[in-house]
Amino acid sequence: MKKKLGLAILSVAMLSVTSCGTQINNAKGSTWDLKPLTEKYEDGTSSGSSTVELEKNGRNAKVASSFTEKSYTVTFQSTMGHELQKVITDRLVDGKYLPGFDGSVSGSPRIEVKLTTVGNYDALRESVITNIPTGGQPDLAFCYPDHIALYNQAGVVAHLDNFIESEEGFASSIASNFYVEGAAFGDGHMYSLPFAKSTEALYYNVDFFNSDEAKNAGITKVPTTWDEMWDTCGKILSIKPNSIPLGIDSESNLFIELAKQYGFGYTNTEGKFDFNNESAKTMIQGLANQYLTNGYFTTQTLYGSYTSSLFSSKTDEKCYMCIGSTGGAQYQYSADFETGVTLIPQAGEGGTNAVISQGPSVCMFEKGEQQNKATWELIKFLLSKDVQIAYAQQSGYIPALKAAQEDTAYVSKIDADAKLKTKAGVIAKAQKQSLAQMPYYFVSPAFVGSSTARTEVGSIITKVLGNQRTIDQAFEEAIAECEYAARAE
C-alpha cells in the first residue's frame, strides 16, 4: 500500500442568526450582518418598504415598461479570467456598451457594462455578502444555488419570473436541465439563469485500455458501473502494482452523486439533511475498504493535489482513470497518450443514472425597476447565441442556450476537434460528453446550510479514509455542523 498524503485542513463557513437580521461568520472570524435592506432607489421605490413587495426570500421584481434615463451602468462580478472576460468585451460596442444600447439607436439609452473578476467562487460569494449591508453588491453576479440561499436572507436577490415571462419563448430557449436550477429554492420563484455549465466525466488512458497488456489482464472495456470500476482497478493493480488506478478530484461530488445514484439520501426540498443513515454509512465503509485495504483510488484531498497530476504522471505511480470536471478537461491532457472521456460510473441495475450539474449561473440583485431593466438587457446579451458559443469554445463549458448547443457550426467544430489527439481534442471530447449526458444531470435543493452540507459530506470521506474519525464520529460531526448552519434560518 502506498503512502498517502495527510488531510488538508478544511475551512467551513459557519452561520448564526440574530433577532434583527442574519449574520454569517466567515472562516476568518469576521461577521457579515445581512439585515433586510431599506434604501431608496432612483425610481422612488425602497427595499423593505410598503411600495415594493418584499417576500420572505428575495423580491418580486417588476419590469419597467420603458427606460427613463439616458444612460445606465451595470456592474457584473464574475470569476472569469482575462481570456474569458475578453469573450464578453469583444462583443460589446467599444468594449463596454451593450449592442443596441450604445447611443446608435434612437430612443435607446446607453448601457455600459463594468466587469470585475473576484478570484474563485468562494471569494466572489464573500465579496457579495460583505457588500450587501451597504447596498454595494453588484447588479449581476456569477452564482451557485448555495450562494443565493445566503443572499436571500437579506432579500436582495431579484425574482426573474416577470422578466422571463415578458420575453416570449425565453424560458423554453434554455436547456431545461439547467433552467430548473434557478427555481431550486422551494418557493416557486426563479432566482437565477444558467450561463455556462460543466459536469463530471471519467477520463481514461485510451492507449492503456487498448493495449495487449490490459487485455491479457482481463480488462476488456472502460467500466460503466461502480462494480465494474472496482473490478477493473483490481486488474490494473495486478499488472501495475505501483499505480493508483483511479483518481477522484471531488470528495463532495462523489458522495452526492453516489447518494443520488443509489437513492440513500443527501438533502431534501424541505431543507433537511438526509445523509445520516445506514446506507450512507455502508457506502463510506465500502469506499474505505477500496482505499485503505485495496489501494484502488485516491482523492484530491487525500493525495494532496488534483488527481489529474497522477493521470498525466510519467512515473509508475500514476492513475489510468480520473473523475474530474469537464470544465478542467485541459488538465487531463497528456502528450504521452490519448485521453478518452466518458460517463462516470453508475449504480447499474436498480439504480438511477445521475451526474452532477455544475458551472456558473447569474443572479440579479434588486436595485429598482430601472436599473433592473438595464441589468436584464445584460442577461439577454449573455444568453445570446453568439456569446454562448464563443464562451463555450474558449472555456470548455457547454452553452445553456439550446440554440447554441444545437448550432451546426458549433457541433461540427467540437466533432472535428474531438478527433485530435491534442489538448483541444480533450476539451472537445469533454464538451461532447457533457452534451450527451444531459438527461442524467441533477441539482440538489439549495437552502441555508446546504453549502455546509456539501462541504461536510466531502469531509466525511476524507476523515474516515484518512483515519481521522470513525464512521459514526464523522457523520455525527457533519450533522452537527449542518444543523448549526441551518439555524441561520
pLDDT at residue 441 above 80?
yes
**What's the CATH fold of domain 14-195+359-383?**
D-Maltodextrin-Binding Protein; domain 2 (3.40.190)
C-alpha cell belonging to residue 43: 425610481
pLDDT of 104 > 70? The answer is yes
Q: Which amino acid is at 168?
A: E
Task: Give the pLDDT confidence score for residue 18 in this predicted structure.
Answer: 30
What is the residue whose three cell numbers read 497522477? 310
Q: What is the pLDDT of residue 16?
A: 30
Q: At 462, is the pLDDT very low, low, confident or very high (cuts 50, 70, 90)?
A: very high
Mean local confidence (pLDDT), 356-374: 96
Contact 298, 324 (CB under 8 A): no
Per-residue pLDDT of 371-381, as tens digits, reads 999 999 999 99
Picking from 26, 23, 46, the residue whose alpha carbon sits closest to that of residue 35 is 23
Give the model's confidence band at 59: pLDDT under 50 very low, under 70 low, under 90 confident, else very high: low
Mean pLDDT (whole number) for 134-145: 96
pLDDT at position 21? 36
Quick one: average pLDDT of 147-155? 91
Interior/surface letters 335-353, b for 16+ CB within 10 angstroms, e for the rest: eebbbbbbbbbbbeeeeee
Place 184 in a pLDDT band, splitting at 50, 70 and 90.
confident
Percent of all residues in the chain with a pLDDT value above 90, rounded to a whole number = 81
Averaged pLDDT of the chain: 88
Decide if pLDDT at 472 tops 60: yes
Span 325-340, mean pLDDT? Answer: 95
- The CA distance from 261 to 253, in Å, is 12
* Cβ(390)–Cβ(381) below 8 Å: no
Indicate the range of 1-15, 210-224, 289-303, 307-321 predicted with least confidence.
Answer: 1-15
Domain with CATH 3.40.190.10 in the chain: 14-195+359-383, 199-357+443-486
Copy the grid coordinates of residue 194: 444558467
Which ranges constitute the DSSP H helices of 289-347? 300-303, 308-311
407 within 8 A of 415, measured Cβ to Cβ: no
Confidence bin at 38 (pLDDT 50/70/90): very low
pLDDT (0 to 100) of residue 187: 86
Q: What number is the average pLDDT over the span 227-250?
A: 98
- Of 181, 106, 89, nearest to 144 by C-alpha is 181
pLDDT, tens digit, for every residue of 381-393? 999 999 999 999 9
Other CB atoms within 10 A of residue 99 CB: 15
Q: How confident is the model at residue 488 (pLDDT cuts 50, 70, 90)?
A: low
Is 9 a residue whose pLDDT tops 70? no
| Over residues 283-287, mean pLDDT | 98
Provide CB contacts within 8 A for 246, sequence distance 6+. 229, 233, 296, 297, 298, 319, 320, 321, 322, 323
Sorting pLDDT into bands at 50, 70 and 90, what band is 186?
confident
What pTM did the predictor assign? 0.84
Q: How far apart are CA 450 and CA 264, in angstroms?
A: 17
DSSP 220: -
* DSSP-assigned beta bridge partners for residue 356: 442
pLDDT at 162 over 90: yes
Q: What secondary structure does DSSP assign to 404-433, as a single string? A: HHT-HHHHHHHHHHTTSSSHHHHHHHHHHH
The yes or no reply on domain 199-357+443-486 and CATH 3.40.190.10 is: yes
pLDDT level of residue 10 (50, 70, 90 thresholds):
very low
Strand blocks (E) in 71-147: 71-78, 110-117, 140-143
How far apart CA 296 and CA 1 sit, in angstroms, is 10
Question: CA-CA distance, 265 to 184, in Å (whole number)?
Answer: 17
Mapping DSSP to helix (H, G, I), strand (E, B) and coil, where does residue 470 land?
coil
